[in-house]
Amino acid sequence: MLTLHRAGFVLPDPAGADPAPADSAVLVDGAVLVDGAVLVRGELVEAVGPFGELAAAHPGARVRDWGAAVLTPGLCNPYGHGLLERAYHPDPREGTGAEPVPGGLDAERDDVRCGASARRGLQRMLGFGVTAVAGPFERASVRTAVARSGLAALAPGGGTAAAEGPLDPLAVLPLAQAAHGRIAAGGRADFAVFACDGDVPAPLPGGCLATVLGGRLVYRRR
């Protein structure tokens, strides 16, 4: 089945993006599509381009219209080791809130509890547009949780685990550094949709509206 994801702005490759007002050319410096779309078939991207052209070429495609938002590649969280192996993500039934507890698993020997915490942490990452996470992942249950989540598991940058950081990469990193890869025909359909500030195609931290992982809509803000 074909699905057409439409957004006010589409940034296929944020590393080369040059934000511009919405009344500029449709394609800004080859980086920003105004009223753009991503066509998805199965788990892969079929095409990226202006919404009008793709809609006309594929009249039977299901359309998900995200309105005045910015669609970008999914994000990479470089703090996976600290967030999934050291921090504890509470179960809502515990009544202690949803924020991760730094170092909450440092002395934990129950691998089942660690795996359950990691699953909750990964689910929360999806709510921030994360589609890839960097390790290392030393606990077997955490490795299993990451593998089953569908997120891409990456080696740590520079060969060492990044320091502990937030669930939302955009809280501390610019989009060009936080984005994982690019959106291109033939590539895996991993991307996210964010609220943006008016006519500037820049995602707002904490503003994830939807996350698509392997072509599946795995998070949608209610």
* Residue found under tokens 């593998």: 147
Going by DSSP bridges, is the β-strand pair 62-65/44-50 parallel, antiparallel, or unpaired? unpaired
**Could you give the CA distance from residue 56 to residue 60 in angstroms, rounded to a whole number?**
9
- Peptide linkage before 100 cis (omega within 30 of 0): no
DSSP 8-state class, residue 106: T
pLDDT value at position 17? 55
> What does the alpha-carbon distance between residue 62 and residue 30 come to, in Å, rounded to a whole number?
26
pLDDT, one tens digit for every residue, the chain (222 residues): 899 999 999 999 997 654 444 443 333 444 899 999 999 999 999 999 999 999 999 999 999 999 999 999 999 999 999 999 999 999 988 877 778 999 999 988 999 999 999 999 999 999 999 999 999 999 999 999 999 999 999 988 655 566 778 999 999 999 999 999 999 999 999 999 999 987 888 999 999 999 999 999 999 998
Going from N- to C-terminal start, the domains of the chain cover 2-74+181-220, 75-171
**pLDDT at residue number 19:** 45
Output the pLDDT for position 21. Answer: 42
Measure the CA–CA gap between 198 and 11, rounded to whole angstroms. Answer: 16
**Which of 201, 125, 207 is CA-nearest to residue 166?**
125
pLDDT value for 98: 79
The pair of three-digit structure tokens given for residue 147, joined into one six-digit string: 């593998």
In angstroms, how far is the first alpha carbon of the chain from the final one?
A: 25
Q: What is the pLDDT of residue 16?
A: 64
Among residues 162, 212, 147, 163, the alpha carbon closest in space to that of 183 is found at: 212
Cβ distance 128 to 169 under 8 Å? Answer: yes
H or E element that contains 37 = strand 32-41
Residue 152's closest CA among 216, 213, 100?
A: 213
The CATH number of 2-74+181-220 is 2.30.40.10
